[in-house]
Amino acid sequence: MLITAMAPTLSLMILGTALTGLFSVVAQILVPLAASMAEPERRGKVIGMIMSGLLLGILLARTVSGALASLGGWRTIYWVASVLMILMALTLWRYLPRYKQDTQLNYPQLLGSIFTLFFHTPMLRTRALVGMFGFANFSILWTSMAFLLASPPFNYSEGVIGLFGLVGAAGAFAATRAGQLADRGKARQTTMAGLILLLLSWLAIGFGQHSLIALIVGIIVLDLAVQGVHITNQSVIYKTMPEARNRLTAGYMTSYFIGGAFGSLISASVYQHAGWNGVAIAGAVTCILNLLIWWNGRKYG
């Protein structure tokens, strides 16, 4: 964050951004840690709480960054983020409990076993692909939405566009119940309902270029569905192999973020060539593919 804040050239800014992406993995370490320490009957609820906090951070950061950019320029965002990271590090150092999980594998073997788990565990593959296409949907919306809102007829400023993160946060907050439903053995129903809602959300989002209300409704439903499916996915995979939660997380989240990057790439390209209608179609097609993947692999969990 500090490298980016002080970067005098584009190359140094890219370096700082790359390092931020590399070390942001710390957030994913906290999820299996919390799952390992939670009581089995409350594990889904705990995962839901942690993941909702994570997604709320992603969404509310848009609101805060929009306000900071309006007040002091883009570098202000990274200066403030640097201070927050120092405070977070001190807080975790002070309050995070010590936890050691015994394993007979060395580090290279642990990394290699992630691929073994992925290729020999159909449930993990199915859930990872569902998560990947789900987060692709999230990125398809949020990447191009700023372009839409900055253009006619809206012509919103950076600060106003950032406020839409609050709308997404409402949907993410509502999804916390998904973990509780997974604890009650309703993971399949929750996943199916989430994927159908995700598809329906694009109907409202498609009308978003003409109606702000339709766009807001679509954002809330999409974020609710993406987060609900994501929480359910992690609740299910953690029940399968408790001794390998970190490796399961690595396999699942790698797929998840590949989906996010793919969604951003598709969204920006489609918006450039086909506008908002193209973005809505890309989102809907991605949802349909995700439903087919889930239907084909639903028997594995």
Q: What is the per-residue pLDDT across 3-56, written as a single tens digit (0 to 9) for each? A: 999 999 999 999 999 999 888 888 878 877 887 788 877 777 787 788 778 878
CATH code of residue 103:
1.20.1250.20
What is the total count of domains within the chain?
1
Would the pLDDT of 206 be above 90? yes
Least confident of 95-109, 112-126, 150-164, 189-203: 95-109
The pLDDT of residue 15: 95
Would the pLDDT of 130 be above 80? yes
Mean pLDDT of the chain: 87
The pLDDT of residue 241: 74
pLDDT, mean of residues 212-235? 91
Would the pLDDT of 300 be above 70? no
The pLDDT of residue 259: 95
Tell me: the pLDDT tens digits for 136-171? 999 999 999 989 999 998 998 877 888 888 887 777
Would the pLDDT of 282 be above 90? yes
| Of 135 and 101, the one with more pLDDT | 135
Task: State the SS3 of the chain.
Answer: CHHHHHCCCHHHHHHHHHHHHHHCCHHHHHHHHHHHHCCHHHHHHHHHHHHHHHHHHHHHHHHHHHHHHHHHCHHHHHHHHHHHHHHHHHHHHHHCCCCCCCCCCCHHHHHHHHHHHHHHCHHHHHHHHHHHHHHHHHHHHHHHHHHHHHCCCCCCCHHHHHCHHHHHHHHHHHCCHHHHHHHCCCHHHHHHHHHHHHHHHHHHHHHHHCCHHHHHHHHHHHHHHHHHHHHHHHHHHHHHCHHHHHHHHHHHHHHHHHHHHHHHHHHHHHHHHHHHHHHHHHHHHHHHHHHHHHHHHHHHC
Domain coverage including residue 82: 2-300
pLDDT, mean of residues 256-260? 91
The pLDDT of residue 71: 82
The pLDDT of residue 202: 97
Least confident of 83-92, 131-140, 236-245, 290-299: 236-245
The pLDDT of residue 219: 93
pLDDT category of residue 88 using cuts at 50, 70 and 90: very high
Give the pTM.
Answer: 0.83
Would the pLDDT of 108 be above 80? yes
